[in-house]
Structure 1
Amino acid sequence: MDPRDRWFEDYREGETIAFGDRTVTAEEIVAFAREYDPQSFHLSEEGGRATPYGGLIASGWHTAALTMRMLVDHVLTRHGLGSPGLDELRWLAPVRPGDRLRWRATVLEARRSRSKPDRGIVRQRVEAFNQKGEQVLSWTAAGLVRCRTPAPDAAG
């Protein structure tokens, strides 16, 4: 089943989906930084050399934006109703030009909404890894997903 066609009832705790494959370029790192996070180590190789990073690295927000795009393209269901937010965002290792990123989402919890029986809440741990298998990003997010059928006795 295409993950993007899932209803709430199709989520299983412990289920893992591996997805995406994207190489990050120096040009896009710099373009994102110019617009949203103009710190020296995101703007140029030279600017990064004088830092503990030793060169150009992507903004963590850039890595998060890439992660969101991959989630939309490969994981988030068409039956989704948005998210109340995410927790525990971590940038665990720098993303450098030429890094090839891949992602994984693991269902931590899937429970019906008590107040709105037409939907459920799915909590997932999202992780990004580089080509060496090093984890570069993680977060835990809650998503609201439509139910195929309302909960029994929802009307009464």
Structure 2
Amino acid sequence: MPWFEDIKIGTSSDLGSYTFTHEEIIAFGKKFDPQPFHVDPEAAAQTHFGGIIASGWHTCSIWMKLMIASRTGDTLEEEPDEDGRTPPRGGPSPGVLDIRWKQPVRPGDTISYHTEVVEKIDLKSRPHLGIVRNLNTGTNQNGETVITFLGQGLIERKTPFVSAQ
């Protein structure tokens, strides 16, 4: 993970794709979001969705899985940087902003996830950290955006922030 100072606004990354199956949509729904249109095919057919759809939280969970994998690969260990410093720690997140589920995710849909750095915020209260905000999107195989949200993460700084005041 890069240091706060090294992260550039406009940097973007494709996080990968994921295909949602009928069985796992129902399993996730039963465990975490037991609404009829997530867990019961017959009841779901009678809703305005016309069939089973994935929970929005399921689409978020897959984004998180792919985001972490894109940052760490298969390991959480990172090598020291060019100055010999231990790599910065990322997180936790102070929260997600403006989440929107724009289209339903149906069994067989493949969602491709993307992230772009859109803002960096200096923190007077925690000068050793900064907040990085990313616009995150998920797009289905038809090019339709199914989810958007603004993610935030606390990222360590190389040097503490000093206010201009």
Total equivalences in the alignment: 150
Which sections of structure 2, spanning at least 5 residues, go unmatched? 73-86
C-alpha distance in 2, partners of 1:45/1:69?
A: 27
Partner of 2:34: 38
Would the alpha carbon gap of residues 117 and 78 (structure 1) be closer, same or farther in structure 2, given more than 3 Å must change?
closer
C-alpha distance in 2, partners of 1:91/1:9?
A: 32
C-alpha distance in 2, partners of 1:36/1:151?
A: 40
- Cα offset, 1:68, TM superposition: 1.6
Partner of 1:14: 10
Partner of 1:139: 149
TM-score of the aligned structures, taking structure 1 as reference length: 0.87
Partner of 1:51: 47
Give the 3-state SS of the residue equivalent to 1:85 in structure 2. coil
C-alpha distance in 1, partners of 2:154/2:88?
A: 11
- Cα offset, 1:75, TM superposition: 4.2
C-alpha distance in 2, partners of 1:62/1:150?
A: 37
TM-score of the aligned structures, taking structure 2 as reference length: 0.82
Partner of 1:83: 93
- Cα offset, 1:137, TM superposition: 0.7
Which sections of structure 1, spanning at least 5 residues, go unmatched? none
Partner of 1:92: 102
C-alpha distance in 1, partners of 2:54/2:110?
A: 13
C-alpha distance in 2, partners of 1:111/1:36?
A: 33
Give the 3-state SS of the residue equivalent to 2:96 in structure 1. strand
RMSD: 2.1
Alignment partner of 1:130 is 2:126: no
* Pick aligned residue for 1:115 from 95, 107, 125: 125
- Cα offset, 1:45, TM superposition: 2.7
- Cα offset, 1:152, TM superposition: 5.8
Listed one character per residue, the Cα deviations across residues 29-67 of structure 1 (whole Å, up to 9, x for unaligned) are: 000111111111111332211111111100111111111
Q: Percent identity?
A: 40
